[in-house]
């Protein structure tokens, strides 16, 4: 399926890299790489289809990455930079720096230019958007996001959570999502973790309804959780958790992720009484 520029920008913000190649006897130029598990190779393939470059496999074929160099990488940066959130400031500044760079004649000039590029990565630019665009968020979440489900042993309810893990220098993405939808951002090791509880159907519909249709890698999980939210509750906890785990492992085999998710939703029980109702019925039965 064709991917939009906004989606590719979001995915580049998450699971891609923009670099500057410095060599003696040449002007600096760009390097762009995007990686993903081989079962989702349509994502890196979209970059080579749009900008050129080549595909390579890593880890015995488990991962596929798209690599672009020189003019192809520059084309990618110029076309996507307006939609980037985390890497927008670096992309814009690096384009100007490369345009003004001379041919690097010595090893020292190469080292000096690399230092300039490194310093650019530390500069935080102004926020480019105030609310996450739907397609950008789909690419960003497909790259660095995940869905998990816990089940309360007392009530049996499912507690689904949306999470995004990001490097500290790219916190603009998680901050933008947190400002729009709430949730908490905390430090986990060397990274930042954003989490949003989706156990309230209204919150699940607000978040998932914004971008689920544009997801590629995690569309089935999002469609299933959104279907449960539309159904009214997450009380059938074990079934919901098992379906999400299965969708995470089987999604690459699904020709129709949304349709398969809808079939699974029909197998979830939404008429399970609440804990308060069960206790009330129990007390009433004890009276007779």
pLDDT at 102 over 90: yes
Report, in angstroms and rounded to the nearest whole number, the Rg of the chain calculated over CA atoms: 23
- Whether the CB-CB separation of 134 and 210 falls below 8 Å is answered with yes
What residues contact 169, with CB distance under 8 A and at least 6 apart?
121, 122
Strands in 191-197's sheet, in edge-to-edge order, are 145-151, 158-166, 191-197, 184-188
Nearest to 11 by CA among 182, 125, 93, 133: 133
Burial of 286 (0-12, 13-18, 19+ CB in 10 A): exposed
Continuous segment of H or E residues that includes residue 209: helix 201-211
63 in the Ramachandran plot: left (φ > 0), alpha (ψ -120 to 50) or beta? Answer: beta
pLDDT at 229: 95
pLDDT at 287 over 60: no
pLDDT at 280 over 60: no
| pLDDT tens figures, 177-232 | 999 999 999 999 999 999 999 999 999 999 999 999 999 999 999 999 999 999 99
pTM equals 0.91
Just give the CATH number of 134-276: 3.10.28.10
| pLDDT tens figures, 219-273 | 999 999 999 999 999 999 999 999 999 998 865 566 788 898 899 999 999 888 8
Which regions of 108-242 does DSSP assign to beta strands (E)? 145-151, 158-166, 184-188, 191-197
Residue labelled with tokens 């596929």: 64
Handedness of CA 93, 71, 129, 184 (dihedral sign): negative
The angle at the Cα of 90, spanning 97 to 77, to the nearest 5 degrees, equals 80
Helix, strand, coil abundance in the chain, percent, nearest 5:
55, 20, 25
CATH 1.10.260.40 at 5-121, yes or no: no
pLDDT at 281: 42
Q: Where in the chain is the domain with CATH 3.10.28.10?
A: 5-121, 134-276
What are the tokens at 67? 């690599």
What are the tokens at 213? 């249709």
Nearest to 37 by CA among 142, 166, 158, 155: 142
Nearest to 116 by CA among 48, 28, 188, 13: 28
Share of the chain above pLDDT 90, in %: 76
How many helices (DSSP H) and strands (DSSP E) are in the chain?
A: 12, 8
pLDDT band at 60 (very low <50, low <70, confident <90, very high): confident
Q: How far apart are the first and last CA of the chain?
A: 63
The distance of Cα 16 from the centroid of its chain, to the nearest Å, equals 11
| pLDDT tens figures, 157-169 | 999 999 999 999 8
Q: What is the mean pLDDT of residues 127-136?
A: 91
Q: How far apart are alpha carbons 268 and 220 in whole angstroms?
A: 15
Continuous segment of H or E residues that includes residue 33: strand 29-37
């Amino acid at each position: 399926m064709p991917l939009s520029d906004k989606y590719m920008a979001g995915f580049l913000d998450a699971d891609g890299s923009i670099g500057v190649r410095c060599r003696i006897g040449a002007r600096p130029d760009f390097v762009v790489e995007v990686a993903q598990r081989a079962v989702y190779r349509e994502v890196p393939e979209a970059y080579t289809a749009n900008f050129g470059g080549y595909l390579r496999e890593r880890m015995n074929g488990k991962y596929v990455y798209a690599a672009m160099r020189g003019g192809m990488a520059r084309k990618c940066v110029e076309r996507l930079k307006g939609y980037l959130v985390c890497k927008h400031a670096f992309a814009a500044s690096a384009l100007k720096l490369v345009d003004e760079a001379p041919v690097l004649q010595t090893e020292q000039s190469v080292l000096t230019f690399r230092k300039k590029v490194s310093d650019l990565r530390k500069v935080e630019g102004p926020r480019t958007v105030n609310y996450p665009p739907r397609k950008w968020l789909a690419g960003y979440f497909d790259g660095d996001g995940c869905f998990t489900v816990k089940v309360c042993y007392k009530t049996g309810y499912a507690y689904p959570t949306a999470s995004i893990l990001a490097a500290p220098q790219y916190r603009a993405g998680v901050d933008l999502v947190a400002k729009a939808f709430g949730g908490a951002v905390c430090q986990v090791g060397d990274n930042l973790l954003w989490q949003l509880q989706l156990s309230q159907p209204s919150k699940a519909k607000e978040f998932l309804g914004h971008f689920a249709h544009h997801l590629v890698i995690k569309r089935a999980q999002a469609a299933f959780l959104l279907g449960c939210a539309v159904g009214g509750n997450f009380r059938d906890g074990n079934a919901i958790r098992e379906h999400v785990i299965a969708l995470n492992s089987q999604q690459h085999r699904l020709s129709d992720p949304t349709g398969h998710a809808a079939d699974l939703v029909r197998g979830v029980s939404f008429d399970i009484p609440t804990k308060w109702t069960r206790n009330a019925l129990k007390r009433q039965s004890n009276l007779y």
